[in-house]
Structure 1
Amino acid sequence: MARETAADDDRTASALAAASAAVGLPLTDPVDLGGSERSLVLRARGADRDDETVVVKQFLPARGDGPAADTPDGYVRELVGLRTLDAAPDLLAHDDASRLLVMTDAGTWPTLADLLLAPGAPTDRDRAWAESLSWAGTLGRTVAESASRASHVRRLLDEHGARDEDVAALLSRGAHALDDLAGGTADDDRARLDDEVARMAALFAPGAADVVSPTDTCPDNALRTPSGWTFLDLEGTSVHHLALDAAYTLLPFATCWCVFDAPHGYPDALLEAFEDGARPHLPGVVDGAGWRTEVLTACGAYVLAAGAWLLASAHEDRPTVGPEGRSPSYRELLVQRWRWGSAHLRDELPATAALCAAALHAADERWGGTHGPGPYRAFSRTTPTPI
């Protein structure tokens, strides 16, 4: 333990020294903000800036050997995101050699997750609903107004080695995982499912509806400051179809741990707020004839991806996807996704909807019951109708 503490202290001191050099003023009083195995995140005080605080984020080498240990992916993506996207912290300085960023401090305001998981008093419910719509509108505006920079950002990411995952392979793994759970599907059904997977993967290919997105737009990465929403943790910044961000509203919240049963009307209201925010910048996309089909297709992609990412942990019956006491279990989250997919994808993605229904049935038998996560705490006293 003492060795770990000493190593942490050395790492903090090294990051603070590099950040001070990058920003050109001494930074003091570092406070560890948590970070992850991938990064060290500090709040520090600028001695020559009237004690204004900044945030220092240093990307750490991956553990182990191999190419991943030296990948610039997260650092490059966050650097590009901070330079490109509004409603994000301002980039103050960076050091490529240290993979270190210095940015403005957005403060200690509540996240959208905090608001959704508030106790559930009438004021909590009203605020969670209103601020959710505000969040969705800000997300729609922020990503849509980046569309003119999308092709440039895509080239920039590629030139710096931040290459996108093989989405078709990921979705195929998710489909196979659900198929294995369900006991296999007929060849004709498999062919239809493959066609739907190809449609989902096409949303990640370059196109006229491309935007620059933080990508990981989960409620815990959105801070409600007095001036509006600020999106944090841009290390997944990427370029893709606008519908993939809209899916974070209709399938709240596509890749997050903060997944519970939403009250009646909530997802549709979020999507409409997102569309209102995006429309001034991409009216031809949002008002296009195939827009809602594209959004549902994006939702289907996230449902299948969840199977690839989470099903092994669900088989192990791991208790929480995110923070203990604030998130559902892996099984509860997947059940919620499959229940949603079987009900909402029947018209646009019938093979995917059927696979979700089959996975639900198999999970019920294998896991001894399929229970969803229940309502968001802020809405828990409104007797919500699950989505």
Structure 2
Amino acid sequence: MTDVNDTLARAGALIGAELTEGADLGGSRRSLTLRAHRADGSSVIVKAYDPGQPYAASAFVREAAGLSFHSGGPELLGADGDALMTVMADLGDWPSLVDRLLAGDPAAATEGLLAWARAYGEMGRASLGREDELDALREKFAIDGDDDPALWDAPKLARLRGLLDGVGITTSAAFASEVDDLNVLSTIGPRVFSPGDICPDNNLLTGDGFRAIDFEGAGYRSAYLDAAYVTMPFATCWCVFALPAEVVAAVSDEYWTALLGRPARRGESEGVRLAVVHWTLDMLTWLMERAFAGDEPMGRGRAVVSSIRQVLRHRLDTVATMLDGLPAIAAVIEALRERTDGWPRIERYPAYTTDSYKPGT
């Protein structure tokens, strides 16, 4: 457990200013995130990673390098690899995209979604051909424990197969081969810089526009992996509900137009399809054991949230229409859908269930 007073002292020394009044902003168990104040009353955000948590070192390197690489995030004021600590500018208190999606104004929610897609598309476009620059920054901040694993390595695939076996679904060598083939997503499509976890709560809708704030997973990856967040929606997030089909189409077009100057073409849509398959199986490794043990909210302490069974069932129903050419994966997904047929179905985001929402607007 990271000590608040020690964290403030180290962070203050890092930026040459005494820091006080560290207010815990919450977040993942991987780090302690504080809003702290300088003597002049201005504030900064301090993030101290717990070295005892998995991927802490990697998250530190990715965040420090990502904030240095991308000028649209919070300004990086200091980084200490020994302490696994970053200090960044405080952008202030603003709503995030999830605040709009969980509220009752569909026009504001759609405006926020389009801003989200446009921001990440523009971020990707500005990064095309600059991967060496990020590599140099990662080398600058590199420490032991920084890694960049494959989408599907042998231990992860074995875990997935074991979880499926635990609910009575035996997988074949063909299934393992099809999942392993999803590693092609590391090499196909435009390679773009992404903060990684581009969920609706990892941003601020500021007076100066959309700002991403979480760079713990920052790096280059296929644009298909980001674009799939629109289709699913929001692959790795707690704040998952359903979106109307016409909203998904508009937001997808916004992303691809910002990235490439046009909507997605057939080959790019195929890449997104594979990315949805990847993210669905990836989330099975996180959610399936809990979901089969019992239902619970996706986010504890949240007033409006789907349950893990609702989200997992929604993922299965979404991907079931995207499995042409993947017969072994299709068989596993269908078996899971049979076993989860009685689970509750997901609802739409509250913004799109109000009387004021009219399809096509």
TM (normalized to structure 1)? 0.82
Looking at structure 2, the residues matched to 17 and 287 of structure 1 have their Cα atoms a distance apart, in angstroms, of: 49
1:158-217 deviation digits (Å, cap 9, x = unpaired): 7544212342233564466457646346x6xx62x4453234211124x67222211111
Looking at structure 2, the residues matched to 218 and 348 of structure 1 have their Cα atoms a distance apart, in angstroms, of: 29
- Local SS of the residue matching 1:357: helix
Aligned AA (2:146):
A
Match of 2:20 in 1: 28
Aligned AA (2:21):
D
Instruction: Name the CA shift for 1:317/1:296 in 2 (closer, same or farther; >3 Å).
Output: same
Instruction: Name the CA shift for 1:235/1:338 in 2 (closer, same or farther; >3 Å).
Output: same
Q: Greater CA deviation, 346-355 or 240-249?
A: 346-355
Looking at structure 2, the residues matched to 384 and 165 of structure 1 have their Cα atoms a distance apart, in angstroms, of: 44
Match of 2:120 in 1: 139
Instruction: Name the CA shift for 1:91/1:197 in 2 (closer, same or farther; >3 Å).
Output: same
Match of 2:336 in 1: 359
Looking at structure 2, the residues matched to 172 and 304 of structure 1 have their Cα atoms a distance apart, in angstroms, of: 12
TM (normalized to structure 2)? 0.88
- Local SS of the residue matching 1:126: helix
1:118-169 deviation digits (Å, cap 9, x = unpaired): 1x2xxx1110011111111111111332232324434654754421234223
Deviation at 1:102, TM superposition (A): 1.1
- Local SS of the residue matching 1:274: helix
- Local SS of the residue matching 2:297: coil
Give yes or no for contact 1:339–1:357 (8 Å, CA) kept in 2.
no
Instruction: Name the CA shift for 1:349/1:154 in 2 (closer, same or farther; >3 Å).
Output: farther
Instruction: Name the CA shift for 1:164/1:90 in 2 (closer, same or farther; >3 Å).
Output: same
- Local SS of the residue matching 1:290: helix
Looking at structure 2, the residues matched to 153 and 179 of structure 1 have their Cα atoms a distance apart, in angstroms, of: 40
Aligned counterpart for 1:75 among listed residues 47, 60, 64: 60
Instruction: Name the CA shift for 1:216/1:290 in 2 (closer, same or farther; >3 Å).
Output: same
Looking at structure 2, the residues matched to 178 and 325 of structure 1 have their Cα atoms a distance apart, in angstroms, of: 32
Match of 1:4 in 2: none
Number of equivalences: 352
Instruction: Name the CA shift for 1:86/1:179 in 2 (closer, same or farther; >3 Å).
Output: farther
Give yes or no for contact 1:171–1:304 (8 Å, CA) kept in 2.
no
Aligned counterpart for 1:225 among listed residues 206, 228, 232: 206
Deviation at 1:354, TM superposition (A): 4.3
Match of 1:168 in 2: 152
Q: Unpaired runs of 5+ in structure 1?
A: 1-6
Match of 2:169 in 1: 183
Match of 2:10 in 1: 18
- Local SS of the residue matching 1:230: strand
Match of 2:343 in 1: 370
Matches within 5 A, 1:297-308: 297-308=274-285
Match of 1:100 in 2: 85
Deviation at 1:77, TM superposition (A): 1.1
Looking at structure 2, the residues matched to 227 and 317 of structure 1 have their Cα atoms a distance apart, in angstroms, of: 43
Give yes or no for contact 1:320–1:327 (8 Å, CA) kept in 2.
yes
Deviation at 1:47, TM superposition (A): 2.0
Matches within 5 A, 1:267-286: 267-280=248-261
Q: Unpaired runs of 5+ in structure 2?
A: none
Match of 1:235 in 2: 216
Aligned AA (1:150):
E
Match of 1:330 in 2: 308
Is 2:331 the counterpart of 1:341? no
- Local SS of the residue matching 2:332: helix
Matches within 5 A, 1:288-299: 290-299=267-276
Match of 1:153 in 2: 134
Deviation at 1:347, TM superposition (A): 3.6
Aligned AA (1:237):
A
Instruction: Name the CA shift for 1:218/1:106 in 2 (closer, same or farther; >3 Å).
Output: same
- Local SS of the residue matching 1:103: strand
Q: Percent identical across equivalent pairs? A: 34
Match of 1:310 in 2: 287
Give yes or no for contact 2:297–2:305 (8 Å, CA) kept in 1.
yes
Deviation at 1:238, TM superposition (A): 2.6
Looking at structure 2, the residues matched to 180 and 31 of structure 1 have their Cα atoms a distance apart, in angstroms, of: 42
